[in-house]
Structure 1
Amino acid sequence: MAFPLLLFLHWFTSGRLGIRTEGPSKAPLLLALCPAFVWTIAISALPHKEERFLYVVYPLICLCAALVLAAVPKAILLLFRPLLVPPKTAVRLGVVITWGLLIVGLTLSAMRTTAQLRFYGAPMNLYRALPAEAFSASRPTTNICVGNEWHRFPSSFFLPSPGYRIRFIKSGFGGLLPKEFSAEAGGTAASPAELNSRNQPDDRLYISDAECDYFVGLGEHREGPVEWWAEAGGWQTVLSLPFVEQSQSPSLFRALYVPYLSHRHNTWYEYVLKKRIQ
């Protein structure tokens, strides 16, 4: 929306529409916004898209929003000038539209933020529910196992104790997994043998089921051994939280929190934290 508005104002200030107005040229601003559109188009063409790919143009997106709010009143004034509408009326209309856009933007932002917290916040809350255990010399670490949902693990900084370690178990994922950072092995300057540039899995990054102390995953997918899902099988559920299944939920209601309607139309699974009890 910012680009068409600025282009419209640029045409007016340059006299290309037959009406010349005073004011600086908008050409520099148009050039400044071009990288945002070029990057968005390039990312849209990729088969695999993630929101984090847009981080590099977030400042330009904020600039676009600010320019739209600043340009709307002047654009309304210029549009109504040929219609002999009183300038005060045009200015008031521009202010109303500007406030309307601002309110709509804030509302959509609040709905999106609420959706992120309510629909997809379960993994973060489950990791925070881990007890701050006291680790002894005989048991220096506690393994938290993850399967297909490994990519939802936020960061080790969210774990309540440095004694916890994220470990991977085989559960259907067929790509390359990340490796734990190790300062002793050279840190970021090292080239771990388990990693490769072909996205091929390496068995050295997995551990056996018997080494798991906790498990975090999406219950509906039944990740890991069947025994994990039987309360009498040596595992108990510490915490279970609702989580939206994206593939079976409408785009609108899974992306934005709409009171009552989102909970009614979305498909919900259970995200679980399980603990070994024997």
Structure 2
Amino acid sequence: MDLIRHLRFFVAVADEGHFGRAATALDMTQPPLSQGIQRLEKHLGVELLHRTRQGAMLTSAGSRLLPRARLLVDDAQQLLAESQRLAQSRGAVHWGVTPALPGALVTAGVSALRASVDSGAAVSTTVGSTVELVGEVRAGVCDIAVIEHPALVDGVESGPVVKLPRWLVVPADHPVAAAERPTFPMLGGLTFAHSPRAANPPAFDSLTDLFRERGLDPHPVLAADDRTLFAAVAAGTSFAVTTTAPTATPGIAWLRLAPHALALRARVIRRPGAEPFAAAVDRVLYRERIR
């Protein structure tokens, strides 16, 4: 009996509360799913689910065993991801970066990683939210990742926090752009273009708390990346923060307000055994830090 496969059946039915929906989620038909649950119950010697007209309900035993079943299924998925990574890597390095990092720093990181592995080894780069990257490093899909701090990093190893330069960008025709002494409250009429809070709740909350401490309580609007962010600013409706260094851009002005407080706090997280890769990227971040 394939215990993990049958536990996956059990977890799916428990999550969906219905055999039909669980079968759809598992890309199978309902009869073999029901038979699989019955075989699992016979193997374990306990009833896991009550069958009802409305769907499926956990028994007392099912409720107690579900957390452990879920752990076993998750661990099996992580084992599979790690084995695939090892089989496909052949010396390659898989790393991830938050979209907040400037492009020049990403390419510098790739160069540093290439120098840290065997000649000819590939370096693959994933761009994702901090929450996504922590999950991928935890699962072994990525060897290392550069994420925003603060963040929840349970289950992964992490390096020191480094402050990277970050600027405010505002509409070029807004009064704050021409002010001799610009302040945060002067941005009060603008919305705050930023990635969604779900991408990294602790970092988002830390930044908005900083604004409030400085007398600004902005309304956030979604900007998935720098292009979307710059478009919102150029439209005259938003301000934003970016690690992209000042450059001549129509409709946009850069402000250097509270540079240390506003700095992007970044750190490298890693899977066990990826310390050399993490050290190579740490050196890149350290070179680009705020002096």
* TM-score (structure 2 length as normaliser): 0.28
Kindly indicate whether structure 1 or structure 2 has the higher relative contact order, using CA contacts under 8 Å at least 6 residues apart: 2
Greater percentage in strand? 2
Bigger radius of gyration: 1
